[in-house]
Chain A
Amino acid sequence: MTRSITRRELLQRLAALGITAPIFDVNHPQGLDFTHLNSPTPKKYLIETMGGGVALFDYNNDGLLDIFLVNSGHLSNPQPLPEDFDRHEARYWNRLYRQNPDGSFTDVTQQAGLANAGDGNYGMGVAIGDYDNDGFQDIYVTSYGRNVLYHNNGDGTFTDVTAKAGVAAGGWSCSAGFFDFDNDGHLDLFVTRYMVWDTQHSKVCGGEWDTYCPPGEFPAISSILYHNRGDGTFEDVSVPSGIAAQKGKGLGVSFADYDGDGFTDIFVANDGMRQFLYHNNHNGTFSEVGLESGAALTADGKPISGMGTVFQDYDNDGRPDILVTVLPREIYALFHNDGDGLFSYRSLQTGLGELTAASAGWGVGLEDFDNDGWKDMFVAQAHVLDNVEEIDHMLHYKQIPLLALNRDGRFVRADCGVTQAVAGRGAAFGDINNDGRMDVVMTVLGGQPMVLLNDDGAPNRWLSVALRGTRSNRDGLGARVRVNGQIRFCTSSGSYLSANDKRLHFGLGQADTAKVEVLWPSGTLQTLENVRAGQFLTVTEPEKPEKS
């Protein structure tokens, strides 16, 4: 008598034979019918090639991750004034897909009140956070034009509260993220802006090839920091905080407390110049310390084309490190946190020279995809220029995403399961099917998103930790969670234009139990011993501190 084996059994048998198999099953879940529309024109408007944000979050608290996808809009050739990107047309809407218990998705955009993002807004990215601590995740959408804050009403609908909240920004916003910079329990908002650019001052570069212009062609601009007043409104504190003192070309943002002083710091990935590391001075101000900390330039003192970024501890030394994705002929920059406020450029020692020198990276995550206790790397890849092959035969516009497994701090290429090169852009990370393995949603510029369900055959154990703040912000963003010696900084931000599942995933290797230590933004240190592996654990912050 014969019986068919499951895919996982097959992978386990292959693994036993020493044969590697793709970790991800590339999937098109039923109901996820989104197509990103960027409307490329001969005018080579830069916004055409930069969009594609995605968020993985549970908007209705049913325990299943839902997907929010940012659309871009319609561009004319040439684009007239006043700028209208036809976002009222259904094909240009951002889309919210609710996950059903069977793994399929239902488009709930219209019923959720998210249908029209505004005709004057060409969509870019998304940030997720519960800014009013009501237990429901809110959505912030960035655009070329006006950004929009959608308040989650808790009944499956959202309300545009941008005007009341005062967070419309303006200009060209890219990645954004919620975090609590003053530990007052209310999530603040950081918005990167790319450059001073508009369709009327656009130009075409590349001589005979007609390409998108590099960032050096346009003036730099400062990012925006909004302080949450706690009453549903925000105050633009970019100037008093010192954020506005630096003009950059921000595409990516990530957060972590890199020096362990209890306050969240900010890293901004700038394109074509030095990177910014804003140290939190604990008094509402920040100091940009990229150069003196060693996180601004390569080991050769060269600037990089920073795009996506993640701020997590890749080598399990307890300190968050910075990874930045860049263009080809550079190398994805890995700034190792050496302690004492210093970083060292470790791209070569960690194998990124071999893995990434010919690639262009956007969305990026450091997640433990094989649950072995080491954070692996996934990068959505593609060149910024859609005609780069005409210019340089060695480069490719569409690329296979990079999956690199972490082997004791050195990254080794693995088969991600994607067989067709695509123009990858955003990437969001989370356990979509709650099977204890981290999955990925990757957006494709001008195309359909890819859902990569992790079907790794390795029999390693895992633990997923959800935080519920009481004295700290309800999401627990900014908490430092240590599980069996591994550290994760709680954040939904990072990657490129995207927002991740806020649950913290830990691979435990062969361990059956874990010791969980949570250092909350309030300063409370909470310890849980002998936590059983293989569960989704919710840790609620004690109303009174156990230990400061």
Chain B
Amino acid sequence: MLPAALLLLSLAPQTASSAAAQHVHAGIEADQQGHIDQAIAEFKEATEEDPKLASAFLDLGQAYVEKHDYASAIPPLKRALELDPSIRGGHELLGYSLLAQGYADEAASHFEKAHDTAALGISLVEAGRPADAIPYLKEAVSKNPDDPDLLYYLGRAAGLLSRQAFDALESRFPDSARAHQMMAQNYAVLRDEPNAEKEYKAALQAKPDILDVHMELGQVYARAQQWDKAEGEFRIEAQMQPGNAEAFYRLGDALLQQGKVKDARVALERSDKLRPNMPQTLYNLGKAASLDNDPASAEKYWLRVLAVEKGTPLAAQSHFGLATIYRREGKQAEAARQMQEYEKLQIERPSEANP
């Protein structure tokens, strides 16, 4: 990841012998014409003419970098920094070259000196120090939120950190509730429902009052469409965490799937109170009200969804629900308008996604 601007630096020669200066100028000219090998030869001549000329070493190193010959770039760049520790671009170029050769720790120290947070974060990830990397990467991402490389490295750092922590958990506390929870999560990701269920239950046996495990186990049941079991787990989590909006949302959803619309409404209303205006909660509240023959409430909730959701599948579903209500009420024009909105957003999905 070499910034283009750095490569375009015009490396003006310092005070130097005229012979060395001539070689430097010739090298720059050759480089500008795309003759890298010729430029390298000229810069080499310059360093031989004047072994104290830091900029010539820097030029030589940069030419190697341009040629992607990072191994050859490292010695002249190091020499340039020995001669002039503050030489412009020296730490960045050496850092990139070292990083490209796998010397991530050493690269990090140069990026740190260059105050290049993005490259420092990346080199720390590569050095296996994700915890150190994350603050730098977060800072870099906040400055360049659309940089896919930075987003990748931030995600990778978080993943590595998570793995390191889980490895420690597993090796040091293998029978703890959290270790079983972690194993269960892994199985759940692999869609291995029986083992996920087993590990979650082991976690609960080790620590019955552990938070979030009932909710996660309920989600395993929900994915397997075992809604009665899911309801049981979500209900326990909601009792344990009466302030947890997600627990009540999931409980409401499980109840709704079983057609227990009145109980679903109670749970979903609680969730909406705890964390207002969550679109999925509002949509399900509308659906539950509709199934409960309460079209006025359904309309209210679906209109609230549309106030916060534009152009999403949930918005499409809300338009469809509203069209159904209006059709039943004989408001044909309104129904048609909602169907138009629905159809604008709706792409009929074939069953590819449904094995």
Which A residues contact B (CB, under 8 angstroms)?
205-206, 211, 214-217, 271-274, 291-292, 294, 297, 299-303, 305, 327-330, 338, 342, 344, 348-351, 353-354, 357-358, 383, 385, 388, 391-395, 410
B258 at the A interface (CB under 8 A) = yes
Within 8 A of A (CB), among B297-355: 316-317, 319-321, 324, 327-328, 339, 342, 346, 348-352, 354-355
Q: How far is the CA of A330 from the CA of B290 in the complex (A)?
A: 19
Shortest beta-carbon distance, B231 to chain A, in Å? 10
Residues of B within 8 A of A205 (CB): 352
Known: A294-B324, A294-B327. Contact between A353 and B354, CB under 8 A? no
Q: How far is the CA of A305 from the CA of B317 in the complex (A)?
A: 18
Complex contact B328–A342 (CB within 8 A)? yes
Q: How far is the CA of A350 from the CA of B316 in the complex (A)?
A: 25
Q: Which residue of B lies closest to A387 (CB)?
A: B355
Complex contact B225–A300 (CB within 8 A)? no
List 4 A-B pairs, minimum CB-CB distance, nearest first: A216-B350, A301-B320, A357-B225, A272-B351
Shortest beta-carbon distance, B259 to chain A, in Å? 4
B43 at the A interface (CB under 8 A) = no
Complex contact B259–A214 (CB within 8 A)? no
Identify which of B192, B258, B350 contacts A393 (C-beta below 8 A).
B192
Complex contact A305–B354 (CB within 8 A)? yes
B193 at the A interface (CB under 8 A) = yes
Known: A393-B191, A393-B192. Contact between A353 and B258, CB under 8 A? yes
B273 at the A interface (CB under 8 A) = no
Q: Is the interface of B mostly helix, strand, loop or mixed?
A: helix
Complex contact B339–A291 (CB within 8 A)? yes
Identify which of B259, B320, B352 contacts A297 (C-beta below 8 A).
B320
How many residues belonging to B are interface residues under a CB distance threshold of 8 Å? 36
Q: How far is the CA of A394 from the CA of B191 in the complex (A)?
A: 7
Q: How far is the CA of A393 from the CA of B227 in the complex (A)?
A: 18
Residues of B within 8 A of A274 (CB): 348
Complex contact B193–A393 (CB within 8 A)? yes
B25 at the A interface (CB under 8 A) = no
Task: Kindly list 4 other residue pairs between chains A and B, CB separation below 8 angstroms, not including A300-B321, A301-B317.
Answer: A300-B317, A301-B321, A348-B257, A350-B259
Q: How far is the CA of A344 from the CA of B259 in the complex (A)?
A: 14
Known: A291-B339, A394-B191. Contact between A348 and B352, CB under 8 A? no
Known: A272-B351, A385-B355. Contact between A299 and B224, CB under 8 A? no
Q: How far is the CA of A25 from the CA of B226 in the complex (A)?
A: 28
Residues of A within 8 A of B175 (CB): none
Complex contact B224–A353 (CB within 8 A)? no
Residues of B within 8 A of A330 (CB): 354
Shortest beta-carbon distance, A249 to chain B, in Å? 9
Complex contact B321–A302 (CB within 8 A)? no
Residues of A within 8 A of B320 (CB): 297, 300-301
Complex contact B257–A349 (CB within 8 A)? no
Identify which of B193, B227, B328 contacts A354 (C-beta below 8 A).
B227
